[in-house]
Amino acid sequence: MGRTFKRLLVTGGAGFIGSNFVHRTLARRPYEVVVLDNLTYAGNLANLASVSSDSRFTFVQGDIRDAELVDKLMAEADQVVHFAAESHVDRSIMDGSNFARTQVVGTLTLLEAARQQGVTCYLQVSTDEVYGHVEDGVSREDDAPAPRSPYSATKAGADLVVNAYHITHGLTTVVTRGSNTYGPHQYPEKLLPVAITNALDGKPIPVYGDGMQVRDWLHVDDHCDGIDRVLHDGAPGEAYNIGAEHEGLGHGRTNLDVLRAVLDLLGKPYDMLQFVGDRPGHDRRYALGCEKLRALGWQTVLPFPVGLERTVQWYAERRDWWEPLKQDAGYVAYYNRNYGDREKLAAAR
Ligand code: NAD
Ligand code: DAU
């Protein structure tokens, strides 16, 4: 194993992937973990409840754009894993301004503090969406960025700033680009938690456009293990794709395939699927080549059918987690706006 640390600063650790990463890190590594999260609608302290009394864990509520706070936390840490982001494409289409502020200004604030305080490794959690969609073949780390949504454009902007800090200031940076991630504690705005919880409630499941878009579904445990691997062994200044490589294995899945699998697991009929107006600029297909990360010894562990069954079971057992989120007035307003607008779009065709 390459780098080792004592104290990690994890931004966005109250969100979906960040909280899973914190659980895995505390369970498998001897490090202290400090989470910095300002608890947007997607941040949830319930995601960290089971580690809250761990003496190696500290939670700080605050914004990654607060330079004074970030500087103080960075001085006490020797490494940072940066998850915090506005992460939902549909919200970025409604209003992209906060995406630029969080992704670009937030990342710059962290990088500046990291170099001032001499952290030994800065890891940027990025996404396969920075490559844009690919009709066939796979995206590799050296491909030029070609983002197509406000979300992915601001994530690509953040990647470029990270690279600039490595080149200009010699900061040890690494970047991970993960594919569509699923698993427990994912906020019910993304496809799988929307579908599973709507199916459990007997409500229609919205399918954008023709439902033939392809995503490379990656279980959150595999994604977190990939991040851990890059953190310890990734080469400075390099980026690493983290995907399930389903396409390469010959079983790429369309959204319709995935939704039918959810309904099969719950014993529900396919007529719960409701075709609605498409997402503007909808990326058709993502696929990653992950040879570079596999060369560091990482591989996926959870096959999609196993991971999906566990995830469906988790949501079936954890209504206490997701029902309050879906009943929240802010969520209801978002849901009506997002899906209401789609109805109008579809009707206008
Ligand atoms: P999420 O929306 O579940 O969580 C984001 C977290 O960041 C929340 O806890 C939120 O409170 C926090 N946050 C947002 N703005 C902040 C700010 N200004 N200051 C402090 N905290 C702030 O997101 P996620 O799905 O867990 O994604 C985490 C990261 O992984 C993101 O950078 C995302 O781009 C990337 N990613 C996600 C996926 C996926 O499929 N979910 C795949 C690849 C990469
Ligand atoms: O690829 C990695 C990205 O995956 C991450 O960077 C993003 O943070 C994450 O949100 C996710 O982006 P997507 O846009 O691919 O995920 P989402 O769950 O929103 O949508 C997945 C697919 O399902 C996409 O083709 C749109 C479609 N969809 C989505 C929703 C919410 C539907 O058909 N119906 C829906 O209700």
Ligand 1 mean position, distance from CA 89 (Å): 12
Whole-prediction pTM:
0.97
Closest CA to 9 of 50, 55, 58, 65: 58
Say if residue 349's pLDDT is above 50.
no
For the question of residue 165 being annotated catalytic, the response is no
Instruction: Answer yes or no: are the C-beta atoms of 182 and 304 closer than 8 Å.
Output: no
Spot the catalytic one: 63, 78, 129, 189. Answer: 129
For residue 77, count CB atoms less than 10 angstroms from its CB and return exposed for 0-12, middle for 13-18, buried for 19 or more.
buried
User: What are 15-70's pLDDT values in tens digits?
Assistant: 999 999 999 999 999 999 999 999 999 999 999 999 999 999 999 999 999 999 99
pLDDT at 1: 60
Mutate to test the pocket of ligand 2, among 208, 217, 253 (most ligand atoms within 8 A of CB): 208
Ligand 1 mean position, distance from CA 11 (Å): 9
Ligand 1 mean position, distance from CA 203 (Å): 27
For the question of residue 238 being annotated catalytic, the response is no
Closest CA to 213 of 185, 184, 180: 180
Alpha carbon distance 13, 23 (integer Å): 10
Looking from the CA of residue 190, the nearest atom of ligand 2 is 18
Spot the catalytic one: 131, 151, 182, 286. Answer: 151
H or E, element range at 24: helix 16-28
Mutate to test the pocket of ligand 2, among 190, 253, 345 (most ligand atoms within 8 A of CB): 190
Tell me the domains of the chain and their CATH numbers: 7-182+218-242 (3.40.50.720), 191-214+248-282+303-337 (3.90.25.10)
User: What are 272-320's pLDDT values in tens digits?
Assistant: 999 999 999 999 999 999 999 999 999 999 999 999 999 999 999 999 9
146 confidence band (pLDDT: 50, 70, 90): very high
